[in-house]
Amino acid sequence: MTYNFSTKCIYGNNDATSCDKSGAISFPIYQTATFAHPGVGNSTGYDYSRLQNPTREQLEKVVCSLENGYDALAFSSGMAALTALMELFSPGDHIISGNDLYGGSIRLFNNINNKNLLKFDFIDTSKEDIEKYITPSTKAIYVETPTNPMMNVTDISKVAAIAKKYNILFIVDNTFLSPYFQNPIDLGADIVVHSGTKFLGGHNDTLAGFIVVNNEELSEKLRFILKTVGSGLAPFDSWLILRGIKTLAIRMERQQQNAIAIAQWLKANSKVKNVYYPGLPDHPGYEISKNQSRGFGSMLTFEVENSEIALHILSSVKLIQFAESLGGVETLITYPMTQTHADVPKDVREKNGITDNILRLSIGIEDVNDLINDLSQAL
């Protein structure tokens, strides 16, 4: 039986039958490293928690159902997931990547993956002609949409058609919108990645990462990588993310509602130069977002007149917290140039629009008037 999204957040595609004879409503934490076998050649289905654990397995089933994938794999962080994903590729392989990505992704590509002789072209996938960058060694296209932090929107179906034309993988980081608002696999992507730390967990209390794939071959390759490199998510952290996902739908609705109101308020403020939010009708990606997503999310970036104003805001907010990360119930303000994108070369940052006047907001579930009042006094 197939359930609607809010129900899948609690059960996945399973029914409500308890996983054991106790009748526990909350899925148990199987806090064990290893599992006993009834006899030689006879297994319970679990051998060692690095390979699989019932709590992690339940979480993976739920996430897979939310993204409409074939399989989902849970990792110890978003970066652990991305690091494992890059093991699909071999020295000399070429990847076309978006140029406005989370700084940790760029750091991985430019340092670890380049050292291992993978080659990257970083382009604006929302505007540029992707096909002119494809070579015989191109193996994948990697995009975030919306991007971090400049909120550029890439047409997923359009890029998927290009990837299929050239028989290359299409990978989408869906962290910003979560599966509640966007399902890239339904639009033609082969692989979806998430920092589960963010909206899926939703409470800023644990780290997690996910890879969701659309076919058995990718599942088998990545499960071999996961068990070999040993970066699977631990049982207790799996349980925390499972608990967080139960409220994903209602959190996303409230956070988006707040974000739209704050984006409109910032846009009307004389000290704010630009507001980057796909839910504003004058955003370049507004129509694409309406076509490929069910909402615009709760991430927004804004630009003030100068760095003095930006620094003043960061030191003056009282309710909003100056911190890295995003997607939790608390509203956070981030300074990309010194936090999320500090390791991105200055010329690359500035080319992408990330200056010392740029601030990023992850909108939480607080009363929106309290958030606006806090921004008002800080400005």
Confidence of residue 199 (pLDDT cuts 50, 70, 90): very high
Instruction: Please give the pLDDT value at position 17.
Output: 58
DSSP codes of every residue in 181-194: H--GGGGT-SEEEE
Whether 18 has a pLDDT exceeding 60, the answer reads: no
Local structure of 200: helix, strand or coil? coil
Cβ neighbours of residue 255 under 8 Å, at least 6 residues apart? Answer: 297, 298, 363, 364, 365
Whether 107 has a pLDDT exceeding 80, the answer reads: yes
Q: What is the pLDDT of residues 212-232, one digit of tens each?
A: 999 999 999 999 999 999 999
Taken in order of first residue, the domains within the chain and their CATH numbers are 5-245 (3.40.640.10), 249-378 (3.90.1150.10)
pLDDT, the chain, mean: 95
Instruction: Give the residue numbers marked as catalytic.
Output: 50, 102, 173, 198
Instruction: Please give the pLDDT value at position 237.
Output: 98
Which position has the higher pLDDT, 203 or 340? 203
Local structure of 362: helix, strand or coil? strand
Instruction: Please give the pLDDT value at position 93.
Output: 98
Whether 16 has a pLDDT exceeding 90, the answer reads: no
